[in-house]
Amino acid sequence: MEKLLELALKAGCSAEVYHQRTRSVEMSRREGHVVDTTATIQSGCAIRLIRNGRMGTAYTKNLLDRQALLDCALLSLEHGPEVDFQFPHTSMKPDIGGFDEKVEGSGFPEALSICEKMEEMAGSLSRSCIDTSAGSAVETVRLINTSGTDLLHRSSGVFGSISARYPGTETSLHTMFAGVSDAPVDSESVANKCRIYEESLPEVGAGDGKMQVMLLPGSLYGVLWRLTAASSARSFHSGATPLKGRVGEEVLSEKLTLVADPERDPAVARRAFDDEGVATGRVALFENGVFKGPYTNLFYAGKIGVKPTGSGFRSSMWGGDPVALSPEPSFRNGTFMTGDTSFDEMLSMIDRGILAFGLLGAHSGNIINGDFSVGFNPGILVEKGRIVGRVKDGMMAGNVYDVLNRVQAVQDRPYNPLSTRLDPAVLLESVSISGK
Amino acid sequence: MLDLLKKTLSKVEADYADIRYERMRTSSAEFIKDQLKGVDSVSTDGFVVRVHKEHGFASATVTREQDVPEALRLAAEGASVMGKSGKRVLLADVPATIDHVEPSLNGDPADIPLQDKLALAAKYSRLMLGMPEIATTNVSYSEVDREKFFVSTRGSAVRERIVTVAIGGEAVAERNGLLQNIRVAVGGADGFHNLLDREDEFVKRGGLAAELLDAEPLKAGTYDVVLNSSMTGVFAHEAFGHFSEADIIEDNTSMREKMALGARLGSDAVNITADSTMPGQVGYYRYDDEGVPVRKVQLMTRGVLTGRLHSLRTAGAFGEPVTGHAVAEDYRYEPIVRMGTIFFEPGELGFRELLAQLGNGLYLCDAKGGQTAGENFTFGAQYGYLVRNGEAGPMIRDINIMGNLFSTLKSIEAAANDFHLGERGGCGKGQVNIKSGHGGPSILVRGMVVGGV
């Protein structure tokens, strides 16, 4: 990496070199059998150059020829975009935890053990409706630049996930456990989800009309996606955001505060610096409903004249290889702050409404405008505070700046059945529902 | 390279093993409005190994040649654990294939200077940006050039180069804080010529984005609908096609019963085909990532299930012939069963006759992403029109449809003769497959749940 920087300096450029290595194993079980196992050992190296106010980028998965990589970046720079930033100097922070070296040697036998443990916890539920998966991953990221930054991040994670699948369908209720050293499998969480599953087995029609909707953590991403698309500095730079000119304005219910805060992140997802070497910290997008301003990477910070927020990550909406992607504004692990109402209290507040445990088609629709029109996957119908069944062919639709102003309650506990991001459930009133 | 891979495999102790090495060259650039956001032109590579032993079957992927032995060890460990769990994987027996395939290209993008590619994308972006009420545009150039080397212990040795190019993005119109967007994409798998002289398409899409500012938000409800060819293609892909991928239902007992070959699942109007042998289409290829030649598969004939798509593993599990549909996104992934080009076959009605048969309802146009969860599906339309007495009227927006595969297949009443295939693919079944093309004619479906606002 250092030799690459030297070559870049010789070419008259300031430069940043990013290196990532991951090792992961993952196993899936269905109906008591292992049906899939995959292992990956991936590494790669990406370079960004700045010269005369222009930027060039290149990457390779196999750094066999440094000069060839640099030549690709110089070709990119020749045609590249104008930039208004320099690579920052950032000192290494103290260890923030999040790494256990023993996970490096973890393999399929360990994953199998986690799966079997979760299946045992499902107790009376038939094996034919239980799916599990488990695995582990270790990641090393090193970032150096010509401003003297030399940062290293090592993380490990072990996860287990259990799903109760509705008969004859691929629709499930999920529960996930993730930790730095081991998957903290919790029998009470599994039992609760199994209870809800059993109560919601009957298929029911929701009909058309307005009703209450509780967005569980597994479905909140549908509204988060729209809020973070509009709040990105990329949208502010292009001018395509309904939040333009609304900094300081209360645009959501005062019950909602949306922040990215590495101090609150579970250790398995914590980062001390972003993928550009900018230190991370608490970034609030909405504080008690008030829009606080865009989150940004270095590129857009320069373009719109704001300070970088440590939100430049090599990620995209559809995953992708971090080495191949350029850092983009990413509201990584952004979550809603918890409220003061328990799940059971929120359930009792529903006269007739739907628990949205998951969504189908959240990526469709006019995302930048905040519109959504999504299927429930699954949605569970509640009447007079009691679960009556699983909704057949139900959809909800609206605009996030409308429905998120009708928040009745926010749950007092964060969790997530699908990822390491932790959110509370949010209860909304009067959401448009269509169904058979 | 093929000799090196053969030598590597010769040391493996297993019932079956294969190894795929890929070199991938990509060029990409993105314009936001008329400003270049970034440009890349890079080359990289990697290995994927798979091992079948003790009745289990597992894969591992690595980027460095020195990690290949560890990948083989991990794959063998995974296969062993799977086999001991009671799962018995039987790989279909296929003859060894030895071949070297070069694509037939009308304009090899590798021969086009980068600056010409940037200029073309910039021109299309500026065209839309100059149109009334277009607030911003986002236009990307994308070129993926994969050279794959595949070797198996059964004696197959296949080398194939696949080149895919596209220019795509969106135009966003704005009026008084209301934002409306329309997507645009041109491209293909038979050369750079697909991208040239496409000004009309970009102007048309920019115009549609501006028109959406005056469109009425749709009221949620249940409607009779006509889907245009893009929407029909997404229906064929999302709602039906994924269930024709045998790995989706391999371990789902109830779905395997429902999807038995010979089962009547749809109306007589439903004829669906997967055909990745059609030259020039984005889904075109000769060999899948198991070295099996791809073949045309008639999936549904007059509503009766007549075929499905297979890998070696699923063909073995179902006792059905291989079809050559095990495809990986790139060198980072094991192959999984993918559709390639899938389409709903045309009927005999003219488009206006189809609208007349609809009577009152909605005409929904141009897909905007879709998703399935088992037999339930949802996908969006970029715009549409209210239809009254067989005549398309006011434009509508905010449209997503949802349904159940089996009930919808029976509710398809007719297909028009206006067959069209899309130019750009994209499917996110675990891996992103840019070679998933689809299309069809306009079709009439009764009683669809449509989410509006």
Name residues whose C-beta falls within 8 Å of residue B407's C-beta, 6 or more positions apart in sequence: none
Top-confidence residue, A417 or A303: A303
Q: What secondary structure, in 3-state letters, does B43-70 show?
A: EEEEEEEEEEECCEEEEEEECCHHHHHH
- Take residue A345 and report the two structure tokens written for it: 């209290």
Give the range among A214-218, A374-378, B59-63 with minimum mean pLDDT.
A374-378
Taking only the tens place, the pLDDT of each residue in B143-194 is 999 999 999 999 999 999 999 999 999 999 999 989 999 999 999 999 999 9
8 A C-beta contact, residue A42 and residue A21 = yes
Pairing of strands B376-388, B361-373: antiparallel
User: Which residues of B are less than 8 Å from A321 in CB distance?
Assistant: 332
Alpha carbon distance B179, A244 (integer Å): 12
Give the range among A245-249, A365-369, A407-411 with minimum mean pLDDT.
A365-369
Burial A397-410 (b: 16+ CB within 10 A, else e): bbbbbebbbebbbb
Contact B63 A62 (CB under 8 A): yes
Share of chain B above pLDDT 70, in %: 100
Determine the residue of chain B that is closest to A236 in CA distance.
Answer: B136
User: Which residues of B are less than 8 Å from A69 in CB distance?
Assistant: 42
Alpha carbon distance A349, A383 (integer Å): 10
Residue of A32, A36, A61 with shortest CB distance to B63: A61
Contact A39 B136 (CB under 8 A): no
Contact B179 A32 (CB under 8 A): no
Alpha carbon distance A82, A147 (integer Å): 19
Q: Which of B65, B216, B398 to mutate to test the interface with A (most CBs of A within 10 A)?
A: B398
B83 Cα to chain A: minimum distance (Å): 8
Which helix (H) or strand (E) segment holds residue A63: the answer is: none
Residue of B26, B222, B254 with shortest CB distance to A168: B254
Give pLDDT, residue A408. 98
Contact A55 B36 (CB under 8 A): no
Residue of A62, A364, A395 with shortest CB distance to B220: A395
User: Which residues of B are less than 8 Å from A56 in CB distance?
Assistant: 39
Give the pLDDT band (50/70/90) at residue A170.
Answer: confident
Give pLDDT, residue B110. 94
Give the pLDDT band (50/70/90) at residue B206.
Answer: very high
Alpha carbon distance A242, A245 (integer Å): 9
Section B196-216 average pLDDT: 97
B144 Cα to chain A: minimum distance (Å): 13
Determine the residue of chain A that is closest to B368 in CA distance.
Answer: A364
Residues recorded for chain B: 453
Determine the residue of chain B that is closest to A31 in CA distance.
Answer: B251
User: Which residues of B are less than 8 Å from A25 in CB distance?
Assistant: 74, 78
Residue of B115, B179, B248 with shortest CB distance to A79: B115
Contact B40 A62 (CB under 8 A): no
User: Which residues of A are less than 8 Å from B451 in CB distance?
Assistant: 373-375, 395-397, 432, 434
Alpha carbon distance A436, B236 (integer Å): 22
Q: Which of B1, B25, B32, B40 to mutate to test the interface with A (most CBs of A within 10 A)?
A: B40
User: Which residues of A are less than 8 Å from B138 in CB distance?
Assistant: 238
What does the mean pLDDT of chain A come to? 92
User: Which residues of B are less than 8 Å from A129 in CB distance?
Assistant: none
List beta partners, residue A359: A376
Determine the residue of chain A that is closest to B209 in CA distance.
Answer: A366
Give the pLDDT band (50/70/90) at residue A207.
Answer: confident
Residue of B136, B368, B375 with shortest CB distance to A240: B136
Give pLDDT, residue B11. 86
B337 Cα to chain A: minimum distance (Å): 14
B402 Cα to chain A: minimum distance (Å): 7
Section A131-144 average pLDDT: 96
Contact A39 B78 (CB under 8 A): yes
Query: Quick check: A264 pLDDT over 80?
Result: no
Backbone angles phi, psi at B304, to 5 degrees: -105, 135
A108 Cα to chain B: minimum distance (Å): 6
A211 Cα to chain B: minimum distance (Å): 13
Give pLDDT, residue B453. 67
Backbone angles phi, psi at A413, to 5 degrees: -140, 130
Residues recorded for chain A: 436
Which helix (H) or strand (E) segment holds residue B298: the answer is: strand B297-301
Alpha carbon distance A185, B255 (integer Å): 30
Contact A366 B250 (CB under 8 A): no
Contact A238 B428 (CB under 8 A): no
**Burial environment of residue A217 by CB neighbours within 10 A (0 to 12, 13 to 18, 19 or more):** buried
Give pLDDT, residue B452. 73
Give the pLDDT band (50/70/90) at residue B374.
Answer: confident
Token pair 């053990």 is at which residue?
A113
Residue A103 zone, left/alpha/beta (φ > 0; ψ -120 to 50; rest): alpha
Taking only the tens place, the pLDDT of each residue in B61-118 is 999 999 999 999 999 999 999 999 888 999 999 999 999 999 999 999 999 999 999 9
Taking only the tens place, the pLDDT of each residue in A324-376 is 999 999 998 889 999 999 999 999 999 999 999 999 888 877 899 999 988 99
Q: What is the DSSP string of B364-433?
A: EEEEEEEEEETTEEEEEEEEEEEEETTEEEEEEE-EEEEEEHHHHHHHEEEEBS--EE-S-----SSS--
**Complex prediction ipTM:** 0.84
Taking only the tens place, the pLDDT of each residue in B224-276 is 999 999 999 999 998 899 999 999 889 888 888 889 999 999 999 999 999 99
Determine the residue of chain B that is closest to A116 in CA distance.
Answer: B85
Residue A352 zone, left/alpha/beta (φ > 0; ψ -120 to 50; rest): beta
Section A17-35 average pLDDT: 94
Q: Which of A47, A360, A392, A402 to mutate to test the interface with B (most CBs of B within 10 A)?
A: A360
Section A160-184 average pLDDT: 91
Contact B40 A59 (CB under 8 A): yes
Decide: helix, strand or coil at residue A426: strand
8 A C-beta contact, residue A336 and residue A256 = yes
Contact B371 A319 (CB under 8 A): no
8 A C-beta contact, residue A379 and residue A357 = yes
A23 Cα to chain B: minimum distance (Å): 9
